[in-house]
Amino acid sequence: MPSGNVIRGARVGSAPTRPDERHQPAPRQNVTYWCRNHHQVDIRIAADAEPPTVWDCPRCGLPAGQDAQNPPGRVRAEPYKSHLAYVKERRTAEEGEALLNEALAALRRRRGE
């Protein structure tokens, strides 16, 4: 005898019978990009959206553009900068010297020198 809590006529995870009648897909546009390795990348985006100028190629990772004859070049990575390099960009040598002298004077006052 079957149990009373079984849902009859449907299976778990079944799809709706007619999904095309339940909703209308948003209008889309096809955009094609090319990278330096001549890979073609086709994407679909919303029709009212502005397509990006550059898209990453999924095959090689290079940037791809919409002009097949003139694809964008490799993006140059910024070299790592240390904290000191950033400080030197914001301060001159004279300002750094003044701050150092001020910090040393405060340290000497705390020590009682």
- Contact criterion met (CB below 8 Å) for 52 and 66: no
CA distance 55 to 53: 7
Beta bridge partners of 46: 28
Q: Kindly report, residue by residue over 82-94, the tens digit of the pLDDT.
A: 988 888 889 888 9
Claim to verify: residue 59 and residue 83 sit in the same structural domain: no
Measured in degrees and rounded to the nearest 5, phi and psi for residue 44 equal: -115, 130
* 18 in any annotated domain: no
Q: Kindly report, residue by residue over 1-12, the tens digit of the pLDDT.
A: 556 665 566 666
User: Annotated binding site, which residues?
Assistant: 35, 39, 57, 60
* 20 in any annotated domain: no
- What CATH number is attached to the domain comprising 53? 2.20.28
89, amino acid identity: E
CA angle 44, 26, 34 (to 5 degrees): 10
User: Annotated binding site for Zn(2+), which residues?
Assistant: 35, 39, 57, 60
Q: For the whole prediction, is pTM greater than 0.75?
A: no
Claim to verify: residue 53 and residue 84 sit in the same structural domain: no
Q: How many domains are there within the chain?
A: 2
Claim to verify: residue 112 and residue 87 sit in the same structural domain: yes
Q: Kindly report, residue by residue over 33-53, the tens digit of the pLDDT.
A: 999 999 999 999 999 999 999
Determine the structural domain holding residue 55 and report its residue range.
27-65
Which SS3 state, helix, strand or coil, does residue 32 take?
strand
Claim to verify: residue 57 and residue 83 sit in the same structural domain: no
* 85 in any annotated domain: yes
* 12 in any annotated domain: no
Claim to verify: residue 82 and residue 105 sit in the same structural domain: yes
pLDDT of residue 64: 93
